[in-house]
Each structure stands twice: as structure tokens, then as C-alpha cells.
């Protein structure tokens, strides 16, 4: 999985093609990501009692990683992620401008 939480991505396939958003959650086992405001579905919940009126909730469904492309923080182009090794650390790079790609916030695993 070359994407990280906090990455800016563009949707390249599916119903939200063309939309951009930030990765909220990574689901490595499913090869899916949850992106803020992308792939949302509305679900109508029926009233269960008078105290709980019916409501429409918005669900954000995970997207397959193959449906998204990273947007490089430096050149702002939709790009593929490369990896280079520096002193034993793997660093992601943009294949278009070769800039190193760092995440905007830390991941807690
Ligand atoms: Zn770039």
C-alpha cells in the first residue's frame, strides 16, 4: 500500500470520478481507502419510535485503491508513487517531479 492517511487523492474510476479528497482511513487488508466526502451514500433510517424519528444518514464507503490516484503535493499533478531508499528508509517520491512525498500527519497503527 503506497498511499498514506492524509494524502490528497483524485478519484479516477467509479461514480465519483474526478473528485478530490484527503484519505481519512487506510484499510490495507481490503486494499481500500476511505476518502473524506467521496463515495458517499445516503441511507434512510425508518422511525423506530416517536422518540427516534426517521432520518437520512450519509455513509462514506471505502474505495478500492485502484480507483484513486495520488495528487503530488509539489507539482499538483495526478501521479504514480515511486519509492527510493535513503539510509535504509523507504521514501515515497512523485514519479513526475521526483519530489519526496511526506504525509501531512502521523499515522497511528
Ligand atoms: Zn510531483
For position 104, what pLDDT does the model report? 55
Say if CB 78 and CB 10 are below 8 A apart: yes
CA 77 – ligand 1 centroid, Å? 6
CA 87 – ligand 1 centroid, Å? 22
CA 62 – ligand 1 centroid, Å? 25
CA 44 – ligand 1 centroid, Å? 41
103: pLDDT strictly greater than 80: no
* Cα 96 from Cα 82, distance rounded (Å): 9
Confidence category of residue 48, pLDDT binned at 50, 70, 90:
confident
Neighbours of 7 (CB within 10 A): 24
Share of the chain above pLDDT 90, in %: 72
For position 107, what pLDDT does the model report? 45
CA 49 – ligand 1 centroid, Å? 54
Average pLDDT for the chain: 90
Say if CB 38 and CB 24 are below 8 A apart: no
Lowest mean pLDDT among 3-17, 28-42, 46-60: 46-60
CA 71 – ligand 1 centroid, Å? 8
- Range 60-72 average pLDDT: 96
Please state the pTM of the whole predicted model. Answer: 0.80
Amino acid at each position: 500500500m503506497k498511499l498514506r492517511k492524509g494524502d490528497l487523492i483524485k478519484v479516477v474510476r467509479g461514480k465519483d470520478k474526478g473528485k478530490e479528497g484527503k484519505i481519512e482511513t487506510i484499510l490495507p487488508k481490503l486494499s481500500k481507502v476511505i476518502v473524506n466526502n467521496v463515495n458517499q451514500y445516503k441511507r434512510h433510517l425508518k422511525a423506530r419510535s416517536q422518540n427516534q424519528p426517521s432520518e437520512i444518514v450519509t455513509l462514506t464507503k471505502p474505495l478500492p485503491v485502484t480507483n484513486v490516484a495520488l495528487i503530488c503535493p509539489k507539482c499538483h499533478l495526478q501521479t504514480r508513487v515511486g519509492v527510493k531508499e535513503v539510509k535504509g528508509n523507504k521514501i515515497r517520491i512523485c514519479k513526475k517531479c521526483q519530489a519526496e512525498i511526506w504525509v501531512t500527519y502521523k499515522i497511528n497503527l
